[in-house]
Amino acid sequence: MPRPRRTFSWTPLLIAGLFVTSPLEARSQSAARVLTEENFRREPNGVVLARLSPGTPLSVVARSENWLQVDVEGWVWLNSLRTSDTEFDLVVSVADGENLRDGPSGNILGRLGEGVLLEELDRQPAWIQVRRRGWIWSASVDEATSGLGGASADVQALGPAARRPAGFVSVGDRGGPILTSPDWDTLAVAAPRSDVEVLAREGNWARVRLEGWMWMPAAEPPGGVGVDAPTALLPEDLIGDPDRYVGRAVLWDLQFISLQRAETIRTDFFEGEPFLLARFGGPDGPFVYVAVPPERLAEVEGLIPLERISVTARIRTGASTLTGTPIVDLLGLEKTR
């Protein structure tokens, strides 16, 4: 099944992988590489400059909480660049952006967005070597100086007395990121050799469930900074700031209209992915798309048009590429009267 195409606009969810550091920790540059496809941003949680591929080499410059400041280098096709009148030398000038490669006509390291400013390092016929400094979510980066090796020697096979429960798999010796949905942003990072329950598969992607505990005192934290209640977010909040609330949970009362399957043109979905077309609050409310995971499809197939439902869902995007409609992933559903 093809993976959904994506734009340079989504924002990572800052709820997991909590690493305790100073606000801005300067450091000498060290080698690292990208573990999973991830956004490369102008500042922490800021404008997306590029989408980097797994294996892309990085030079780590500094750290700020869960973010790394890094330098990225590569080669770009000359015809896709023009001279910049800023402190940078070049700017990406083509509408759909351009590939960043590891050499002239080499392997693709990522995709630069239109308007991204770059520093020129070297030039060959038809190609320019460039560099850009920016920020990346630290959970998506391997900072090991020895490179990425295989399984460590202390990992032992499970014996007959320690068999893994049916439906569970190990994430492997290196662990791995857990995304909000296939090919989306990082939600959390599974520790090496942890076990997860597989609920469904879509091609090379597995929908998993991972249960655990995290420190979350009930009292309001110092400074009076509270946590938004799930019902505080409305569709108009998402449309007005589509990147801000990706991954947040909501509890919405909707009016079901129809169960549909996504066509190829709906690039925020997998082709053929089932989703509910619904209206928030009732017949006069804004439209909402509710993506339905395979294990819940039977639950929604019996819904009657115009029936009222209450859904618990996680925000996939605040505004779909095709229509600007909010898309949420279904977590739970109840029929209301």
272 backbone φψ class: left, alpha, beta (φ>0; ψ -120 to 50): left
Q: Can you give the residue ranges of every domain in the chain?
A: 25-142, 167-209, 230-335
For residue 288, list its beta bridge partners: 278
Q: What is the pLDDT of residue 28?
A: 57
> Topology of 230-335 in CATH?
OB fold (Dihydrolipoamide Acetyltransferase, E2P) (2.40.50)
Which pLDDT value is given to residue 214? Answer: 74
**Total-model pTM:** 0.45
Could you report the per-residue pLDDT of 222-266, keeping only the tens digit for each?
444 444 444 468 888 887 787 788 888 888 999 999 999 999 899
Structure-token pair, residue 291: 């993506």
**Residue-wise over 112-151: b if at least 16 C-beta within 10 A, else e?**
bbeebbbbbeeeeeebbbbbbebbbbbbbbbeeeeeeeee
- 220 pLDDT exceeds 60? no
User: Average pLDDT for residues 93-110, to the nearest whole number?
Assistant: 92
**pLDDT bucket at 133, cuts 50 / 70 / 90:** very high
Kindly report, residue by residue over 325-335, the tens digit of the pLDDT: 999 999 889 98
Query: Do 38 and 50 touch, CB atoms closer than 8 A?
Result: no
Burial 221-242 (b: 16+ CB within 10 A, else e): eeeeeeeeeeeebbbebbeeeb
